[in-house]
Amino acid sequence: MSEIYLIRHGQASFGEKNYDRLSDKGVAQAAVLGRHLAALNLKFDAVCFGEMDRQQKTAQGMIEAYREKGLFVPEPEVDKSFNEYDATAVWEAQVGQLLKEDSKFLLPIEKEPKNNAAFQEVFSKVVARWVSGKFDAKGDVIWKDFKQRVAGGLNALMEREGSSKRIAVFSSGGPISAAIQMAMELSDLKTIEISWQVINASVTKLKYNGEKVSLTGFNDITHLELTGDKTLLTYR
């Protein structure tokens, strides 16, 4: 059996011009994660991440902690299979029709544009409409294509690395939930609901052999909780 550690990036810069950048808190979360994994003396046979800066900088927290302790860490590989879906494109494809159905649809974020809860209230409805597949149009980002891309990346990784390996994949809530769907055969809607629960810098674990992928741990934040700093527990 082999293990895959699916690690969500630290807090990004919500509400800022460039979302794809760790906030100061995100940097701190990545450092805590890295020190924790190093303290456990976990040996990773491969490390990979998507193309997002927030994913790569979170991995850097682990790499630095390992090197400071003199532990081996493999050279990370970039795999775009683990990129997050294009949330802006999904938004633009869905929100127009939602406004036609309800002219007050955007009111929560118009009132509080930097409020996480207000944004989540609106965005979760946008994404639920998207994953239904009922409104797909030519040129749109397609949920089915996204989850197949993630599954393809995982399958290729598992085939390449083989048995008795431990692999770290630094990614985002969407790909992590798609990987869980692959292991648990969840519905698309349930998969997206799970994605909203994935905490920044959390660890989700899969085990696999040549025949089966199993979920063995979800959303582990022990490393963050041990700090005693509840402000490190973030979803966005």
Strand order in the sheet with 166-171: 77-78, 46-49, 166-171, 2-8, 203-208, 213-220
For residue 3, the model assigns a pLDDT of: 97
Tell me the residue type at 153: G
Tokens of 35: 């020190």
The residues that bridge with 215 in the sheet, in sequence order, are: 206
Q: Which CATH superfamily, name and number, covers 2-84+147-232?
A: Phosphoglycerate mutase-like (3.40.50.1240)
Cβ-based neighbour number of residue 219 at 10 Å: 15
Q: Are 37 and 205 in contact (CB under 8 A)?
A: no
For residue 115, the model assigns a pLDDT of: 85
Chain centroid, CA 213 distance in Å: 18
Which residue ranges does the chain devote to CATH 3.40.50.1240? Answer: 2-84+147-232
For residue 27, the model assigns a pLDDT of: 98
Among 63, 94, 18, residue whose Cα is nearest residue 170: 63
How far apart, in whole angstroms, are the C-alpha atoms of residue 194 and residue 156?
24
Full pLDDT tens readout for the chain, 236 residues: 899 999 999 999 987 788 899 999 999 999 999 999 999 999 999 999 999 999 999 999 999 999 999 999 999 999 999 999 999 999 999 999 999 999 999 999 898 888 888 999 999 999 999 999 999 888 889 999 999 999 999 999 999 999 999 999 999 999 999 999 999 999 999 999 999 999 999 999 999 987 899 999 999 999 999 999 999 999 98
Cβ-based neighbour number of residue 30 at 10 Å: 28
Among 10, 29, 22, residue whose Cα is nearest residue 224: 29
How far apart, in whole angstroms, are the C-alpha atoms of residue 189 and residue 183?
15
